Amino acid sequence: MRLIPDASLRMDMPRTQRCRHQTFTPSIGAFAGLTLICLFVISGCSEGPQGTGPGHREQRLALTPSQELQVGREAYQQILEKAPVVESGPEVDRVRRVSERIAKAVQIEPLQREINLQLDGYEFEWEYNVVQDDQANAFCLPGGKIVVLTGLLQLVKSDDQLAAVIAHEVAHALAHHASERIARERTVGHGLLSLSYNRQQETEADHIGLFLMTFAGYDPDEAVEFWKEMQNAQGGHLHLPEIISDHPSDNRRMQQLQAWVGPAKAAKQALDEGRVLPISRR
Q: Quote the percentage of the chain above a pLDDT of 90.
A: 48
> Is position 211 within any domain?
yes
Question: In total, how many domains does the chain have?
Answer: 1
CA 193 to chain centre: 22
153-165 residue pLDDT tens: 999 999 999 999 9
Query: Distance between CA atoms of 194 and 181, rounded to whole angstroms?
Result: 8
Q: Quote the percentage of the chain above a pLDDT of 70.
A: 70
> Is position 241 within any domain?
yes
Phi and psi (nearest 5°) for 86? Answer: -80, 120
| 34: pLDDT strictly greater than 70 | no
Higher-confidence position of 236 and 161: 161
> Is position 141 within any domain?
yes
The whole-number pLDDT of residue 146 equals 96
pLDDT tier for residue 168 given thresholds of 50, 70 and 90:
very high
88-138 residue pLDDT tens: 999 999 999 999 999 999 999 999 987 888 898 999 999 999 999 998 889
Q: Using an 8 Å Cβ cutoff, are 249 and 203 in contact? A: no
> Is position 238 within any domain?
yes
> Is position 278 within any domain?
no
For residue 248, give every residue at least 6 positions away whose Cβ sits within 8 Å of its Cβ, in sequence order, or none. Answer: 199, 202, 203, 206, 242, 256
- Catalytic amino acids? 169
Query: Distance between CA atoms of 204 and 55, rounded to whole angstroms?
Result: 8
Q: Using an 8 Å Cβ cutoff, are 60 and 184 in contact? A: yes
50-101 residue pLDDT tens: 567 787 788 888 889 999 999 999 999 999 998 999 999 999 999 999 999 9
Of the candidates 232, 103, 100, 88, which has an alpha carbon nearest to the alpha carbon of residue 157? Answer: 232
> Is position 227 within any domain?
yes
User: What is the model's pTM?
Assistant: 0.81
Q: Using an 8 Å Cβ cutoff, are 27 and 70 in contact? A: no
pLDDT tier for residue 235 given thresholds of 50, 70 and 90:
low
Give the structural domain span for 24.
5-272
> Is position 282 within any domain?
no
Query: Distance between CA atoms of 235 and 116, rounded to whole angstroms?
Result: 37
| 240: pLDDT strictly greater than 80 | no
Higher-confidence position of 198 and 147: 147
Could you tell me if residue 9 is left (phi over 0), alpha (psi between -120 and 50 degrees) or otherwise beta? alpha
| 28: pLDDT strictly greater than 80 | no
> Is position 229 within any domain?
yes
Query: Distance between CA atoms of 193 and 174, rounded to whole angstroms?
Result: 23
Query: In this structure, which amino acid lies at residue 132?
Result: Q
Q: Using an 8 Å Cβ cutoff, are 276 and 270 in contact? A: yes
